[in-house]
Protein backbone atom coordinates (compact mmCIF):
# COMPACT_ATOMS: atom_id res chain seq x y z
CA UNK A 1 0.00 0.00 0.00
CA UNK A 2 1.44 3.37 -0.98
CA UNK A 3 1.88 6.13 1.60
CA UNK A 4 1.28 9.79 0.81
CA UNK A 5 4.11 12.20 1.64
CA UNK A 6 4.53 15.82 0.67
CA UNK A 7 8.19 16.82 0.34
CA UNK A 8 9.10 19.72 2.61
CA UNK A 9 6.23 19.01 5.01
CA UNK A 10 7.48 18.41 8.54
CA UNK A 11 5.75 17.00 11.58
CA UNK A 12 6.43 18.89 14.80
CA UNK A 13 5.68 17.94 18.36
CA UNK A 14 4.40 21.37 19.38
CA UNK A 15 2.27 23.36 16.99
CA UNK A 16 0.09 26.40 17.63
CA UNK A 17 -3.25 26.23 15.87
CA UNK A 18 -5.60 29.20 15.89
CA UNK A 19 -9.19 28.96 14.76
CA UNK A 20 -12.15 31.32 14.87
CA UNK A 21 -15.28 29.45 15.78
CA UNK A 22 -18.72 31.04 15.48
CA UNK A 23 -21.88 29.66 17.11
CA UNK A 24 -24.82 29.44 14.69
CA UNK A 25 -27.19 30.67 17.42
CA UNK A 26 -26.76 32.53 20.72
CA UNK A 27 -24.86 30.56 23.35
CA UNK A 28 -22.21 30.64 26.08
CA UNK A 29 -18.45 30.66 25.58
CA UNK A 30 -16.81 28.46 28.22
CA UNK A 31 -13.13 29.20 27.56
CA UNK A 32 -11.29 32.51 27.92
CA UNK A 33 -9.77 34.08 24.82
CA UNK A 34 -6.19 32.90 24.30
CA UNK A 35 -6.51 29.96 26.69
CA UNK A 36 -4.84 26.70 25.78
CA UNK A 37 -7.30 23.89 25.17
CA UNK A 38 -7.04 20.21 24.34
CA UNK A 39 -8.70 18.52 21.39
CA UNK A 40 -11.60 17.27 23.52
CA UNK A 41 -12.24 20.54 25.42
CA UNK A 42 -15.73 22.01 25.02
CA UNK A 43 -15.17 25.69 24.15
CA UNK A 44 -18.79 26.84 23.72
CA UNK A 45 -22.32 25.55 24.01
CA UNK A 46 -25.79 26.54 22.98
CA UNK A 47 -29.25 25.29 23.86
CA UNK A 48 -32.35 25.04 21.71
CA UNK A 49 -35.82 24.59 23.13
CA UNK A 50 -37.95 21.84 21.66
CA UNK A 51 -37.07 19.32 19.01
CA UNK A 52 -35.72 21.47 16.20
CA UNK A 53 -34.40 19.96 13.01
CA UNK A 54 -33.17 21.58 9.81
CA UNK A 55 -35.12 21.10 6.61
CA UNK A 56 -34.57 22.27 3.07
CA UNK A 57 -37.76 24.25 2.50
CA UNK A 58 -36.77 25.25 -1.02
CA UNK A 59 -36.47 21.60 -2.05
CA UNK A 60 -39.77 20.69 -0.37
CA UNK A 61 -41.56 23.53 -2.20
CA UNK A 62 -39.65 22.92 -5.46
CA UNK A 63 -38.61 26.58 -5.47
CA UNK A 64 -35.44 28.56 -5.96
CA UNK A 65 -33.80 29.33 -2.57
CA UNK A 66 -33.70 33.04 -3.51
CA UNK A 67 -37.51 33.05 -3.90
CA UNK A 68 -38.12 31.39 -0.53
CA UNK A 69 -38.58 34.58 1.61
CA UNK A 70 -41.47 35.63 -0.64
CA UNK A 71 -43.16 32.24 -0.23
CA UNK A 72 -43.03 32.24 3.58
CA UNK A 73 -46.17 32.99 5.62
CA UNK A 74 -44.11 34.31 8.56
CA UNK A 75 -41.29 36.83 8.31
CA UNK A 76 -37.71 35.83 9.12
CA UNK A 77 -36.59 36.40 12.69
Mean pLDDT of successive 10-residue segments in the chain (77 residues)? 67 79 87 88 88 86 91 81
Q: How is the chain split into domains, by residue range?
A: 19-48
pLDDT at 32: 92
pLDDT at 5: 65
Contact of 23 with 44, CB cutoff 8 Å: yes
Helix, strand, coil: what percent of the chain each, to 5? 15, 5, 80
Looking at the whole model, is its pTM more than 0.75?
no
Measured distance CA(74)–CA(72) in Å, rounded: 5
Measured distance CA(35)–CA(41) in Å, rounded: 11
Measured distance CA(35)–CA(43) in Å, rounded: 10
pLDDT at 34: 85
pLDDT at 3: 66
pLDDT at 51: 83
Amino acid sequence: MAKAFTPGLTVTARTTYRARRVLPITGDVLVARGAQVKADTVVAQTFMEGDAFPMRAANILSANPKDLPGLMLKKLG
